[in-house]
A = this chain, B = another copy of it.
Amino acid sequence: MTIRVGVIGVGVMGSDHARALQHVVSGATVSAVTDLAADRADALAGELGARAFGSADELIAADEVDAVVIASPDHRHAAQVMSCLQNRKPVLCEKPLAPNLDDCRAIVDAQNDLALPHPLVSVGFMRRFDPGYVELAAAVATDAVGEALMVRCSHRNVASHPGGDSAATITNTAIHEIDVARWLFKSEIVEVSWHAGRSTPNDPTRQDPQLLLLRNAHGVLMVLDIFVNARYGYDVRCEVLGVDGAISLAPTPLTWIDRALQSRTAYPENWRPRFAEAYRLQSQAWIDSLAAERPSPLATAEDGLAATAVAAALIDSMKNNGAPTAVQH
């Protein structure tokens, strides 16, 4: 049985999803696409042999759409997920589920009200499928370095989207680290604080880098530095410090060049090469669960809500000079 997927929003992220579903995911085909930019939707529809729809609602309701991927701008996620729920269509929504806590809660409630055997909503925290993070999480789960005490994560982008503010760094970028922090330890973040120092001149509208401290219900302290204009490369790091040792993600270069008195490896320019395999594995796992009518193994709407709740507390701390702030779940 082939799952026919409709993709909402076909910018860089959405068209990556669509092409992967069509070409490298087993058991899926892309039957429908839509985008506010109709020509972009038409072009991709032509390329993939899919149908271009004029609106997200029409796509979601269409008979030829068994399941939906949402890769539209963050503030549209909530309404589109709600429409999927109303149409009883399984949906993989890109992170964040919604930047707004109330919207997240409304989705969780609406889904619960449906009382279906399996939840419909999945959230695209694809790092849960990255082989490196999976190996790290397995090691943590088996106490390979002893009980966890502290975590250090770094997230560096080459350059930010222009015009964003410091809150957008948290809801759009740090949200990945927040989900990792929850997922690694199966424990909720209970308190956070926000810190900053000197900011890069390359992004006048936001504080960059930021330093985020999170503490979970087990007392593990997590230090996240997020630098969205790091220039040097797309780079994601994670180290878990335990009672008996430490475990870290390894760098992921493919080759290494010795030339001109240097030994060097390449950084990717963005997340696409770094996490292509994670996206593929996430999509395959989602499609497999739909085909087998099993629960989705992806992050849930509740995970999406919890991550946004932590982001909201961080933004409160930021507005409050870095004061320690409890997370409202």
Residues of A at the B interface (CB closer than 8 Å) are 22-26, 28, 131-132, 135-136, 139, 144-150, 152, 154, 156, 158, 195-202, 209, 211, 213, 215, 218-221, 223, 225, 227, 230-233, 235, 241, 243-251, 253-269, 277, 284, 288, 322, 324
Contacts and interface: CB of A to CB of B under 8 A. Distances in A.
B247 A258 contact: yes
Contact of A232 (B132, B198, B246, B288): B246
Nearest to A227: B241
Instruction: Determine which residue in A28, A149, A197 has the highest number of CB atoms from chain B within 10 A of its CB, and name it.
Output: A197
Contacts of A277: 277
A244 B232 CA distance: 6
A244 to B, nearest CB: 5
Contact of A233 (B209, B250, B261): B261
B232 A215 contact: no
A225 B150 contact: yes
Number of copies: 4
Contact of A149 (B199, B257, B261, B322): B199
Given A145-B259, A258-B267, A261-B268, 4 more contacts: A24-B284, A26-B26, A136-B254, A245-B258
A254 B144 contact: no
A182 B120 CA distance: 51
21 contacts: A23-B26, A135-B254, A136-B254, A136-B255, A139-B257, A144-B259, A145-B232, A147-B198, A150-B211, A150-B225, A197-B219, A200-B243, A223-B223, A232-B246, A233-B262, A245-B260, A246-B258, A247-B256, A258-B267, A263-B264, A322-B324
A154 B156 CA distance: 19
Contacts of A144: 257, 259
B261 A257 contact: no
A267 B263 contact: yes
A138 to B, nearest CB: 9
A183 B200 CA distance: 22
Contacts of A148: 198
Contacts of A260: 231-232, 245
Contacts of A211: 150, 213, 221, 223
Contacts of A254: 131-132, 135-136, 249-250
